Amino acid sequence: MESNIVGWFEIYVRDIARAKKFYETVFCTTLEKVENIDFDYWMFPWKEGREGSGGALVQMDGVWPGPGGTLNYFMCNDCAVEEARVAIHGGEVIRTKFSLGPNGFAAIVKDTEGNVIGLHSMK
């Protein structure tokens, strides 16, 4: 793999309107809604080729905030490949590969220590 392995973060929230207002106000920024996905998703400003990782606020049924409420995504060629390795190596698949529309695909898994991480790929 030629890029940095961690390529995205998500902050899971219970009240997207309240969380969006908090982050936009604290950081003097505007989040952008991502359409055509089946959950509420607002991206922080991000530009290709700049230092740092992009990320978003997310409100998704079954994934809640709290300790460990931030999700780091590991970049993959096809996240189904890494997902298939999770359970056989002591982890747990939380949500199998799903579409992010034009933003690719993701899976959510738990490592052997109970940490929840994301897998992301464009195919």
Provide the residue range defining the domain that includes 110: 6-121
Residue 66 pLDDT greater than 70, yes or no: no
Look at residue 111 and tell me if it is in a domain.
yes
Separation between Cα atoms, residue 73 and residue 43, nearest integer Å: 14
Separation between Cα atoms, residue 89 and residue 80, nearest integer Å: 15
> Nearest-CA neighbor of 70 among 5, 4, 3, 8?
8
Q: Is the pTM of this model over 0.85?
A: no
Look at residue 1 and tell me if it is in a domain.
no
Look at residue 109 and tell me if it is in a domain.
yes
Residue 32 pLDDT greater than 80, yes or no: yes
Determine the pLDDT at residue 3.
64
Look at residue 102 and tell me if it is in a domain.
yes
Determine the pLDDT at residue 115.
77
Separation between Cα atoms, residue 53 and residue 91, nearest integer Å: 25
Look at residue 89 and tell me if it is in a domain.
yes
Q: Are 119 and 76 contacting, i.e. CB atoms less than 8 angstroms apart?
A: yes
Mean pLDDT of 73-96: 92
Separation between Cα atoms, residue 11 and residue 69, nearest integer Å: 6
The larger pLDDT score, comparing residue 7 to residue 24, is at 24
Look at residue 83 and tell me if it is in a domain.
yes
Mean pLDDT of 18-33: 87
Look at residue 110 and tell me if it is in a domain.
yes
Residue 1 pLDDT greater than 60, yes or no: no
Look at residue 107 and tell me if it is in a domain.
yes
Mean pLDDT of 31-39: 89
Instruction: Provide the number of structural domains found in the chain.
Output: 1
CATH code, domain carrying 56: 3.10.180.10
